[in-house]
Each structure stands twice: as structure tokens, then as C-alpha cells.
Amino acid sequence: MNNQQIFSLWYKQPSMLTNTPQIALMIRKEGYEAYGLYIAFVDSLHLVGGYKDYDFENISLILNCTKKLIKAKLRRVLTEYKLFDFYTDDDGIEMIGLQRVKDDIDAMNKSKQDGAKGGLKRAENVRKRSKPQLNDVDEHPLMKLKEDKLIGDWHNKSKDIQLGFIELLEKKNARRSLIQLHKDYLKN
């Protein structure tokens, strides 16, 4: 599933984040520029699933931090204030991220999948209610009528039943004269 398409519009961010002890300390020492770096990095984590490999040079390029002082501040934001979770994956690659972002993405994925299942079920139910469910032309009650009596009974049927019957006839390659007879009647 492509997280960038699904989660690029919004995500949950804790309220009053600047009042948490770690963020408040970081802002007092580094200024609001550091808070902006923190938020920009969390945004990028959200797009990749909550964790990414800890390659400082790539992270600084992604966040467009190329000047020496900004890179130094970014390094302090990522490592000194214990704002991010670090772990080593099975391949030995050091990862950085936030568990709350990963949990949020997992919950959104589950909600999206559950919604898709419900939508498919609803569409199936609507489809079942809107068309007659006849598998064989010979089972259709109109097929049992003789052609001369068919016209008399045909106009008593709903338009949906008539159209469904014509589709069924065409699928089963019924006699062309019978199909044309029904189409001509519907035109009038």
C-alpha cells in the first residue's frame, strides 16, 4: 500500500506538543527553528510508515538542511533530546522513527481496509437488489410464453426486468427475432 497517496493529507499530531518536557527543553535551547525541523522530520516519517533508516546525510538532504549550522542543529534534534525511537532491524540497519506514528498508520490502514470491505459488501447488496437474478434464459417466466402472447404480458413487467431479460437473451445467444421483438417493444 502506498502510504504517500493515503496519508499525505493529514495525520494525528498530539495537541500542545510544545508543552511536553522534551520539546519545551529543545525549544528553549535551540529555538523554534529546531521545532520546525522536528515537525518536518515527523512529516517525512509519516510518509514512510513511521520508521526509516538512520542515515543522517540523507535525512538532512530530504529536509533541505545543507548549511553547517542547520545540520548541526538537526543532528542535536534527532539525537540529544530523546524525541525519536532508535532500533536496529533484522538486516542490521539502524532505524529512527516514532512508534506513535507507526501505530497511527497501522490504525489508518486497518480502517481503510475495513471500509473497503464494507463498501464492496454494500455494492454487492445493491447489485443484487437492482437486477433480477436469473442464470438461464429458459428459467425466465417471459421465455415460457409463446411469441404471440409475449407482447401482452411484456408491458406488465418493469423496465428493469425487461432490460435484464434482453441482456440475458443476448448473453445466451437466443433467437434474434425474439431479442428484436423485445427491443422494438421497448422503443415504443
- CA distance between the termini of the chain: 51
Give the pLDDT confidence score for residue 30 in this predicted structure. Answer: 95
pLDDT band with cut points at 50, 70 and 90 for residue 148: very low
26: nearest Cα among 60, 68, 75: 75
Looking at residues 60-78, what average pLDDT do you find?
A: 92
Question: What distances in angstroms separate CA 169 from CA 1, 142, 165, 177, 186, one per listed residue?
Answer: 42, 11, 6, 11, 15
Give the pLDDT confidence score for residue 80 in this predicted structure. Answer: 94
Measured CA angle at 94 (ends 80, 90), to 5 deg: 145
Q: What is the pTM of this model?
A: 0.57
**Cβ atoms of residues 113 and 21 within 8 Å:** no
pLDDT band with cut points at 50, 70 and 90 for residue 4: very low
